[in-house]
């Protein structure tokens, strides 16, 4: 527990750095959010008024401190483009991104584990080679292109699954409808981690198989299926770590996939906010993703040391 607390303390300077990066990046951006609000033929007076309302006329350090003190209290201001509190936008978006992310993580974890176990148990045979080829293909394929190909195939040609959005018209809250919408984006997003996870499962399994306790289990007369259970439990740790790290990839990849499927999540929100130069939304979005990623790494660390106490010593 003290270790976890210590990790959180260590993360504070990093989080501070993230706020600086989020603030600085947005203010180097070319173009002004005002251009999206004020018609080009508006008088200089009107422009100045709008700039004043959004506090964009204050010196940058003052703007940063104001933003930071509000952000610490969980207030990210109003979206310039949509006139809605940023919190409200982000809360909705992160929920939708989590639905997609969890579906993708579930897909990649299950598929990766099954393929990795198959490859590890059949080392050197054709199935092993198939899985490693698939893994390399996974890390080489652009997720957005895979998404396009799947839309062409399953939505346009075969008409099995919807091609965009999260709900059909008037079907909000229908779980089956949501599932139908999430299948293609989740597979497109989760395909790259499948390769990484299956590779890790295989390596980890092969290392465990060599250990003495496996021989002991065999000598004890356990059946193959029972031994496999022991193997998996012992091979799980590095796999958990990799899965945790891949969640970060999913967070990044979701920006692309959400754009293609018009998925109303964080990525889609950020992408449109970048187009509109909607400063409060972009800042809060970057801050949120960075913070989530840092927290996720801490949790992965913590779970590791909880599952395997040996790690604490190093």
Partner 1 sequence: MEISIHKTNHKEKDFKRDVMDEIQENTQTRRSFIQKLYSDPVAWGATFWIVLMIGTAVFAPFLTPYSPVSGNIGNRLMPIGTPGHFLGTDEQGRDMITRILFGGRMTLLMGIVPVAAACLVGGALGVIAGYFGKAVQSIIMRCLDVFYAFPALVLAIAISAALGPGVRNTFVSLPIVFIAPIARVTATAVQQIKGLEFFEAARVSGASHWMIIRFHLIRNIFRPVFAYVSTLIGISILVASSLSFLGLGVTPPTAEWGAMLRSLQDALYTQPTVAIAPGVMIFLTALAFNLLSDSIQDALDVRS
Of the candidate residues 249, 263, 265, 281, the single one contacting partner 1 (CB under 8 A) = 249
Contact stretch for partner 1 (CB under 8 A) within 73-81, 178-186, 217-225, 283-291: 283-291
Identify which of residues 154 and 302 has a Cβ nearer to partner 1 in the complex.
154
Separation between Cα atoms, residue 34 and residue 22, nearest integer Å: 19
Which residues touch 21 (CB under 8 Å, ≥6 apart)? Answer: 286, 290
151 binds partner 1 (CB under 8 A): yes
Least gap, CB of 253 to partner 1 (angstroms): 6
Of 267, 273, 290, 284, nearest to 73 by C-alpha is 284
Interface with partner 1 in residues 155-184 (CB under 8 A): 156-157
Q: Is 78 helix (H, G, I), strand (E, B) or coil?
A: strand
Separation between Cα atoms, residue 188 and residue 254, nearest integer Å: 10
Separation between Cα atoms, residue 67 and residue 280, nearest integer Å: 9
CB 226 within 8 A of CB 248: no
Least gap, CB of 217 to partner 1 (angstroms): 28
Least gap, CB of 125 to partner 1 (angstroms): 18
60 binds partner 1 (CB under 8 A): no
116 binds partner 1 (CB under 8 A): no
Identify which of residues 24 and 306 has a Cβ nearer to partner 1 in the complex.
24
Rg (CA), the chain: 24
Least gap, CB of 16 to partner 1 (angstroms): 9
Which residues touch 119 (CB under 8 Å, ≥6 apart)? Answer: 127, 128, 131, 132, 198, 201, 202
Of the candidate residues 121, 274, 298, 300, the single one contacting partner 1 (CB under 8 A) = 274
The CB density around residue 109, as the number of other CB atoms within 10 Å, is 20
Least gap, CB of 140 to partner 1 (angstroms): 4
Contact stretch for partner 1 (CB under 8 A) within 61-69, 114-122, 133-141, 218-226: 133-141
Of the candidate residues 293, 303, 305, 308, the single one contacting partner 1 (CB under 8 A) = 293
CB 99 within 8 A of CB 182: yes
Least gap, CB of 173 to partner 1 (angstroms): 29
CB 281 within 8 A of CB 81: yes
28 binds partner 1 (CB under 8 A): yes
90 binds partner 1 (CB under 8 A): no
The CB density around residue 179, as the number of other CB atoms within 10 Å, is 12
Of the candidate residues 34, 141, 240, 298, the single one contacting partner 1 (CB under 8 A) = 141
252 binds partner 1 (CB under 8 A): yes
Helices marked H in the chain:
2-28, 33-37, 44-53, 60-72, 86-121, 126-140, 143-150, 175-209, 212-220, 224-261, 266-276, 279-307
Identify which of residues 8 and 228 has a Cβ nearer to partner 1 in the complex.
8
137 binds partner 1 (CB under 8 A): yes
DSSP per-residue letters across 243-298? HHHHHHHHHHHHHHHHHHHT--SHHHHHHHHHHHT-HHHHHHHHHHHHHHHHHHHH
Contact stretch for partner 1 (CB under 8 A) within 1-9, 61-69, 70-78, 134-142: 134-142
Instruction: State the residues that interact with partner 1 by CB under 8 A.
Output: 13-15, 17-18, 20-21, 24-26, 28-31, 136-137, 139-146, 148-149, 151-152, 156-157, 248-249, 251-253, 255-256, 259-260, 270-271, 274, 282, 286, 289-290, 293-294
């Amino acid at each position: 527990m003290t270790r976890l607390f210590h990790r959180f303390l260590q993360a504070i300077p990093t989080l501070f750095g993230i706020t600086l990066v989020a603030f600085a990046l947005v203010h180097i951006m070319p173009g002004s959010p005002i251009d999206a609000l004020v018609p080009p033929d508006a008088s200089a007076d009107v422009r100045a008024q709008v700039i004043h309302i959004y506090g964009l006329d204050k010196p940058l350090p003052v703007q940063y401190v104001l933003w930071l003190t509000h952000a610490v209290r969980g207030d990210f201001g109003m979206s310039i483009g949509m006139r809605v509190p940023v919190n409200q936008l982000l809360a909705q978006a992160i929920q939708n991104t989590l639905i997609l992310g969890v579906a993708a993580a579930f897909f990649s974890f299950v598929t990766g584990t099954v393929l990795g176990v198959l490859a590890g148990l059949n080392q050197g045979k054709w199935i092993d080679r198939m899985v490693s080829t698939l893994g390399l293909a996974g890390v080489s394929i652009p997720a957005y292109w895979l998404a396009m190909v799947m839309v062409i195939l399953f939505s346009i040609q075969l008409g099995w699954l919807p091609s965009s959005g999260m709900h059909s018209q008037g079907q909000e809250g229908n779980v089956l409808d949501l599932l139908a919408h999430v299948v293609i984006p989740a597979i497109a997003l989760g395909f790259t981690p499948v390769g990484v996870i299956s590779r890790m499962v295989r390596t980890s399994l092969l290392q465990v198989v060599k250990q003495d306790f496996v021989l002991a289990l065999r000598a004890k007369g356990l059946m193959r299926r029972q031994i496999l259970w022991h193997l998996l439990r012992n091979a799980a740790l590095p796999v958990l770590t990799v899965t945790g790290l891949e969640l970060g990839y999913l967070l990044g990849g979701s920006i692309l996939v959400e754009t293609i499927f018009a998925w109303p999540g964080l990525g889609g929100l950020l992408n449109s906010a970048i187009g509109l130069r909607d400063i409060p939304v972009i800042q809060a979005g970057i801050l949120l993703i960075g913070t989530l990623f840092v927290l996720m790494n801490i949790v992965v660390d913590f779970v590791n040391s909880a599952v395997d106490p040996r790690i604490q010593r190093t």
